[in-house]
Structures are given as structure tokens and as C-alpha cells.
Structure 1
Amino acid sequence: MSHSEDPQVERTFRGHHQPITSVSFSPDLKRLASTAMDSALMLWNFKPSLRAYRFIGHDKGGVMCCEYAPSGAKLIASGGKDRTIRLWTPTVKGQSVVIKGHSGGIRCVSFTKDARRLLSASDDKTLKLWSVKQQKFITTMRGHSNWVRSAQWSPDARLVVSGSDDKTVRLWDTRSLVTIHQFFDHTDHVNCVRFHPDGTCVAACSDDQSIKLWDIRTNRLLQHYSAHQDAVNDIAFHPSGNFLLSGSSDGFMKVWDLREGHLYYTLSGHQGPTTAVTFSPDGDFFASGGADNLVMVWKTNFDKNLNEPDLGEEAPTKRFTSQIKDQNAKMDKISRSSSAKRQRKLEHEQLRRQEAPAPQTEPIRNGTERFESMNYQPPPLDSQMNPQLAQTLEHIIRQMDVLTQTVKLVEERLSMTEIKLSKMEQSQHPNINLGVGNGAAQQQPVRAPQRAHSQQDQEVYSQQQQSAYYGSSGAASSYAQQADDEESINEEDNY
């Protein structure tokens, strides 16, 4: 891969006086918003001729989060340590409306796609829903036992995902306002949670240095990455759903290829922890903020060769989920026999037990580097099967499958032998059908078995294809003998 296809820094913005806490692109890609512990909200213009705006409204303690409204509402929401939410109009005047209701600092804010409702997560252990137009409180969702650091709406706004210092990730139903599932896989504070763009899975990062992805339809762990050497502070999905970006206190950003399940890039730009990351709405850029008080805008580049799926093609999430669950999906299309299904189940269990070692590389302090080594670890199994026992069972199942196919072929051979004997008997007694109809009618008893034999030949040929796929040498040799018998029958017919 050429250097021109690597992610590259396009702009670096300096203006904050303390570590960055969040970054957010405007829907029209003309500006970037950022917040920091210096209690300021900054709006950075991508045109060099335009100056940045600095909005001051939150009391001292720091602005913890911000997000642009995704529609044409031209609003920015921010939350601060002062326990307030502010809705900003991104103009030179910097006017804002204050919303109060939480009894703790605001860690995260999230708009629905239509910008009608706002979600907030707080140190008071609650989530709250707000009406943006009326600027009024709607309801509170309680359940976490510690600070709620992150929350986000699902794409259809029917669900909410949240992550907390109680080490859990929760899924909420926004209509019943109850928790529909909890994930307990993380072993330390959960710093960020995100919905996949297609809404079928969620991702979370934690102080335990890992990133995890779950399928919310089955509530099963899909992917686990031992991602960084320190706490993972923020994550963001690429709009295509094929990549995940992470930022960590170890000073690095990493790009993960979710289709293949491995590390794709390691990026170094900030001096010290990377505290915030996000993609632009079109995926062409991403932004990062760090403890060095800098905001950086990067050109993605690595998505140039991304082949977008057709409308009828399997969704990206479904593709990488199926790769993890069953690498032998093609086999399932070829054979539907019960023995083959049992075999695939055993192979699937063995696949999930394989763990790839973490990459051994030197830290990269400048530039970018493409990682080819695997760092994906499948979810741990609750119980382990003896490998020797699994291998023995697999061998037995294969032999049973070969035996089944061989028996079927023997049955076909017997049927054709009966046909052969019948034809020989017909040739020895040619007058047996005299007086029954015309000459064409007399020949039909001989031709009928030929047509039956042709149909059976097709069935046997299909069986032989399946046997050859599973390495059934015995069945294949039986079919070769059967082919010789067929040739002898055809010769007799011609005679």
C-alpha cells in the first residue's frame, strides 16, 4: 500500500488550554466543534481565511462533551461539569439555552437523527431524555450503579446503549424505559459505547484496555480486541460500518478492520493520551483530540478501495459476524445431511478456541504504519472440549458420511443391475410383447428403463459430487465402477 493511501494529518488546531474532551463534525463538513477541560467550546472553520469561534458558557470545571445535531437544525449540544446542558446556535454571537435537571456532571450528549430528542448521561448515575424543540425534560432512565460515561441512540431511536463506571453496558427500550439487556464482559470502567451504523450491534471500550462488540439480536459477544497498552478512551465507527477507530491513553489511535477482525493501522499524532476521536459523516475524514490540547483533522484515505456492497448484498455486520460464527458457510449450501451439520459444529467450536497472538512491534511515535499481524481474540468459551476427543469425533463423523454415501451408491448399482437383467430378458424373448399395439409401443418397455437409468445417473452424479467434496475416496471409486457398468449397458443398447 502506498504512502498516499495512509491516513494523513490535514489540519492541526491550537486554541484550547487544557486536554480535549470531545470532537464533532458539522453535517455540512464546514466546521469542527471541540470541547476541553478549559470550559470552552471551540468551532474550527476548515477555510483558512475564517477564524475560529470560542464559546464560553459553562462554569469552571470543564466541558465534557459536545455533538452537532445531525440534521439541518444548526444546533450544538454540550454538557459540563457544572451539571448543565447547553444548546448553542453556531453563529458569531454564540447564543445558547441552558437546560438543567441532572444532579451530577454531564458526561455525554446524543441527538436522534431527526434532532427532536436529546439524550444525556451523567455522574448522577442516570440517563435523561429531553425535547429539543420545547427544551423540556421528558423522562429519566435509572439502572446504573455508578457514573454513566457514555450513551447513544440507535439509528431508529428505539433503543439506547449506555456504558458506566459500574463496568456494565446496558441496552434500553426507549418506549418502556427499561433495561432489556446488560453486558458484563468488561472488567473496568466503560468509557465509550457506540451503535454500529446498521443498528445490529454495539461496541464499547474500557479502562481494561479492550474493545468489545456484541450482536444485540442474540446478545452474544462477536469480537474482542486486546486493543491498547492503556485505557481506551473513545471509539467511533466508520459510516460504512467496516472500520472502527479507537483512541487510548497509550498515545496511539488504531483503526480496526471489522470484516477481517484484525488491526489495520496504528497512528501516532498526539503527545500523550488520545482522548477523543470521531469520523466525519461521509467517512472521508476523522478528527482526534488529545491531552496535548491539540485537535487534529486526518484524511482517511484507507477507505478509497472500499467496495460498497450492492443493495442486495449482505450487510457488513452480517458478513463479519458470519466469518466469526462459521467459516464453513459454503459447506452448508452444498450438503444438508445431519452428519455434515454435526461436523461443521465441531469445526466451529475448534475455530472459536483458536486465539491469535498479539502483535510484537515496536512503538511508533511518528507517522503511520500498517499492521498485518492479527490481534483479534475470539470470545472465551465457558467449557473446553479435549482436542483429541474432538478430533476423534470428527474422524468418526467423516467415516459415517463416507459409509452413508457408499450405501446409497450400492443401492443405485443394484437398481441398474436389475435394469440390465430386465433388458437381457427382453432381448432373449423378443416376441413377448407381440400383438400389443404397434412397433413403437413394443419398444417402450425397453426405453422406459433407459429413461429411469438416466434419472438415476443424475442422482448418483450429484451424490458423487458431495462425496468428492468431503474427501470420500471410497464413494468416488464406487462411482467409477458404476460408470463402467453404465458404459456396458449403453453398448448393449446400441447393439
Structure 2
Amino acid sequence: MDNSEILTEPSLTCSYRAHKNEVNHVQFSPDSKNLVTCSNDQQVIFWEFKGNLEIHRSYRLSGHKDIVHCVDYSPNSDYFISVSRDKTACLWRLGPDNRPNLEPTIYNCHCSTIRSVGASPKGDYFCTGSDDKSVKIWSAFCKNKQTALLKGHMNWVRCCKYCPNDDQLVASCGDDSCLFVHDLRVYDGLPSKKVTKRGIKFTCLDWYPNNKNLVAISSHDSCVRIFDLRSDKALQYYNAHTGPVNHVEFHSSGNYLISSSDDGTSKIFDILEGRVLFTLQEHQGAVYCSAFAKDGKKFATVGKDSIVSLWTSNLIVENDESLIEDNDQDTERIARRLSTSSAKDSTDSKASNRLTANKKTSSRLSLDQTVDDCGQSFVNDEETSKDPSILIQILTQLDLLTESLSSLEKRVGKIEKRLDNHPSI
């Protein structure tokens, strides 16, 4: 069965122009019922949904005195945070009605522009990344209480995030071509892991769901990469955009990734198949951020045109439990599966760009095509006879291919069962 017969392209549900200038970032609440955006107009807007994607009301929050670069929600929905070029972070607490207080708690965090903020998994701390080349950890309950200073960067820090299932790990990246992972249990403030790509400015990162060894990262060279932090190697590499990639984020299922670029598009990747699924071109100008809701059923895109667009994802939202694991054995298995698709993703990405030149055109890979494409990487019999080790490599590739096909068959089976039970089919 061809996946193109299963998935339908995301549908634009509605668009809103509430900000007066470029919208830099967007974030859904953990329960997917609210949305927060921030803008060059110095304001944060809290959006309240009435139905699935119908806006019931919105609140315009004025706490900053300059461009607001980033927002993030606490996992327990107690508050959200915004950071700005005014060098401050505003913590907006939510009341019993789940609406924000109009007066934020203001943190004087850095001596230069703050570009990123991330709440810890328990919500008791948050991290900030700044043009002053530092990442700092703050208490969410004690105003201006700094608990750690993370060193190492030699240029602007573009993004910093807590690991979703380990509140002692913080990753950061920036203009110095470095991806750092800091272990807060180590008190010297220096990174415990480092990935460097010379000459490449990293713009954003995201942890693979519930796994501390896999990270996606976007960059100014129009590329998206997925790194295995244990080996410091890229498992997947997508050269799918034609402009700098500003933001990248995993779907909660672990099956998909969404990116946003200066080329005016957002792209959704199927990382198990190693290719672009959909190219979305709705905004006029650069897209700065695309964020999935936690339920996986919707996502939002924002950009230079000041518009907030809300989409129905139409993706498979069930978690693949065989993927969302966090131990060395399972991480190794996930890494092998992603590497299997990475052998063809560079060619596939370029082909997908040609196929998706028109607005919202999709490109997918069938099960039969998977076998054919992976088979192209096998060597011939003459080469095998010269080097017995090649036979071992072939057998290893066959095992990986069998595992990948088995996973795809399980996904197809789930979809077929769901379609059989659908009353309208």
C-alpha cells in the first residue's frame, strides 16, 4: 500500500493578523487548548481556542520594551515565559481559569539580547540563551534567582532547550557552529558533549521525544540534521530548503519533523522514510517558526508577514511505542533505523523539492520503493568475493531493511484498522 493513499496533506484552517509586525515564535500549551505568539511589535498574545482551531478570545500582553524573540510553556501549564531584545524575561503565570495574569514577573537576565528560552520538564526552572554568548538557568519561583551559568559558546546563542525526560540536561546552539549539551550535575559550567560543524551557523534545535541521545538541528546553510549525540554524527541530513532554516521541531509521535525557512516554506519530513512529505507555502516572506500541538493533530506557522496560520496536520498521531524509548539499546535501534533512510535522503530531498514546487504538493515513498531504493546501496557479487567483510555489511543492511519494513507494515496495519472502523468509509 502506498502511503500517498493514506496521508492527506495538511489543511489550512484559519489565519489571523493580530500582531502589528513580524511574528517570531509560536508555542502551544501542553493541553493543546491555548497558543502563545510573540512579535517585533514588543507584544505577546495569548490565544484561547473555543473548538479545535476556532479562536474564542485573545489577550494582548505588554511587558517588554523591545522585540520579543521567543516564548515557551511550562510542561505543567502553570506559566509561560517570553524573552526579548530588552534583555529581560517575562514570566506570565496562569490563573485558575487558565488565563494569564496581566502583570508578569520580570527577570533581568542578560547584558545583551535574549533569543531563546526553555522551561524544564518539571517547570521549576527555565534556561535562557543570549547574544552575550551565555546560557543561564533561572528559578521559576524566585525572581532573578540564577542557579547556573553555562559556558562554552564563542558567539551568539540562538537556541537552548531542556531535555524533555532529563531535567539535568540542557542543549544549546548558535553562531559559533557548535551544538553543546550541558549536564547540570557537573558544576564547572562547561559542556559535557560538543558537536561542531565549521562555518555553519546553527539556528534551532529540538530533542527527539523522550530520548536524550538524538537531536534535530537547523542551520543557515538551508539544511536540517538529526544528530546522534553518542557518536557526534549526523544520522540524517536534509538539504531541502533554498534559504536559511529558522526553526525545527519533532512531532510528538517521533515519526515526523517540521521546519521553517527564509525561503517562505514549511516542510514536514517523514524521518522513518527519510524524505519530505509536504511542502507548505502559505506565508508571504520568511517563515520563522512552525510548532506542533502536543496532541499532534494541529500545528501553527508564523513569519515575516505578521500572520498566525493554524493547520490541521492530518498526520498519524499515534505514538510508535517502539520508537519512543530512552535506553542505550533502544536508542541504538532507533539510530539504525534513521540511518537506513539517511542513505537516500539527500537524493530524495532534492527530488522532493522539484515535486513540491507548487503550493502544498506531497511526495511519499511506497513499501516497494523502499526495497528498491535500499537495494541500490548493495554491492555486486564480484565485489563481495574480493572482500568477505562486505558480505557482513550486506547482511547487516538486510537486517535493518527487514526491521524498517516490519515497522512500516505495523503502521499500515494500524491505519487499515482505523479506516475499517471509520463510519464514513
TM-score range, shorter chain: 0.7 to 0.9
- For the residue of structure 1 that corresponds to 2:337, the secondary structure is helix
Counterpart in the other structure of 1:361: 354
Post-superposition CA distance 1:323-343 (Å, at most 9, x none): 35569xxxxxxxxxxxxxxxx
Structure 2 SS opposite 1:323:
helix
Matched position secondary structure for 1:361 = helix
1:158 paired with 2:168, answer yes
| Structure 2 residue 83 is the aligned partner of structure 1 residue 79 | yes
Change (3 A) 1:355 1:69: closer
Is the Cα contact below 8 Å between 2:238 and 2:345 reproduced in 1?
no
SS in 1 for 2:276: strand
Which whole-Å CA distance do the structure 2 matches of 1:362 and 1:311 have between them?
29
- Which of 312, 315, 326 is equivalent to 1:299? 312
The whole-number CA distance in structure 1 between the counterparts of 2:287 and 2:346 is: 28
Which position in structure 2 is the counterpart of 1:172? 182
Letter in 2 for 1:42: I
* Residue-by-residue CA offset, 1:408-456 (whole Å, 9 max, x unaligned): xxxxxxxxxxxxxxxxxxxxxxxxxxxxxxxxxxxxxxxxxxxxxxxxx
Distance in 2 between the 1:17 and 1:87 partners?
22
1:130 and 2:138 equivalent?
yes
2: distance between equivalents of 1:100 and 1:82? 9
Instruction: Indicate how the Cα distance of structure 1 residues 51 and 240 shifts in structure 2: closer, same or farther if over 3 A, else same.
Output: same
Q: Confirm or deny: 8 A CA contact 2:272 2:338 kept in the other structure.
A: no
* Greater fraction strand: 2
Aligned counterpart, 1:15: 18
Q: Answer whether contact 1:44 1:53 (CA < 8 A) is retained.
A: yes
The reply to whether residue 139 of structure 1 matches residue 129 of structure 2 is no
The reply on whether 1:285 has 2:298 as its aligned counterpart is yes
**Aligned partner letter, 1:41:** V
Higher relative contact order (CA 8 A, sep 6+): 2
Separation (CA, whole Å) in 2 of partners of 1:108 and 1:25: 16
Alignment of 1:225-264 (within 5 A): 225-264=238-277
In the TM superposition, what is the alpha-carbon distance from 1:252 to its structure 2 partner?
0.7
**In structure 2, which of residues 358, 362, 373 is the aligned counterpart of residue 370 of structure 1?**
362
Calculate the aligned-residue CA RMSD, in Å: 3.2
**1:62-461 → structure 2 map (5 Å cutoff):** 62-73=67-78, 75-90=79-94, 91=99, 93-135=101-143, 136-155=145-164, 156-176=166-186, 177-185=189-197, 187-197=199-209, 198-303=211-316, 308-309=320-321, 318-323=332-337, 325=339, 356=347, 358-359=350-351, 361=354, 364=357, 366=359, 368-372=360-364, 394-397=384-387
Which digits, 9 at most, give the CA deviation of each residue in 1:43-95, with x for residues without a partner? 112225732100011013x001111111142x110100000011012436512
* Cα-to-partner distance string for 1:310-357 (whole Å, 9 max, x where unaligned): 699999865552135569xxxxxxxxxxxxxxxxxxxxxxx9599626
Cα deviation for residue 28 of structure 1 reads 2.4
8 Å contact 1:187–1:208 — kept in the other structure? Answer: no
Q: Distance in 2 between matches of 1:264 and 1:147?
A: 32
* Gap runs ≥5 in structure 1: 328-350, 375-386, 402-465, 470-495
| Amino acid in structure 1 at the alignment position of 2:193 | H
Whether the 8 Å CA contact 1:188–1:207 is kept in 2: the answer is yes
Corresponding residue for residue 55 of structure 1: 61
Task: Please tell me whether the aligned partners of residues 147 and 166 of structure 1 are also in contact (alpha carbons under 8 angstroms).
Answer: yes
Cα distance, 1:280 vs. partner? 0.9
Q: Alpha carbons of 1:320 and 1:264: their partners in 2 closer, same or farther (altered >3 Å)? A: farther
1:28 maps onto 2:31 in alignment: yes
Mapped to 2, the partners of 1:6 and 1:271 lie a distance apart of 20
Please tell me whether the aligned partners of residues 247 and 277 of structure 1 are also in contact (alpha carbons under 8 angstroms): yes
Distance in 2, matches of 1:323 and 1:6, equals 25
- Paired with 1:100 and 1:365, the residues of 2 have a C-alpha distance of 46
The DSSP-based 3-state class of the residue aligned with 2:167 is: coil
Q: Distance in 1 between matches of 2:390 and 2:305?
A: 65
Structure with greater helix share of residues: 1
Contact persistence 1:24–1:66 (CA under 8 A): yes
Report which of the two structures shows the higher radius of gyration computed on alpha carbons.
Answer: 1
**Equivalent-residue separation in structure 1 for 2:60 and 2:102 (angstroms):** 8
Query: So what's the TM-score if we normalise by structure 2?
Result: 0.78
Contact 1:194 1:237 in 2 (8 A): yes
Paired residues, what number?
A: 363
Cα deviation for residue 9 of structure 1 reads 1.5
Segment drifting more, 178-187 vs 29-38? 178-187
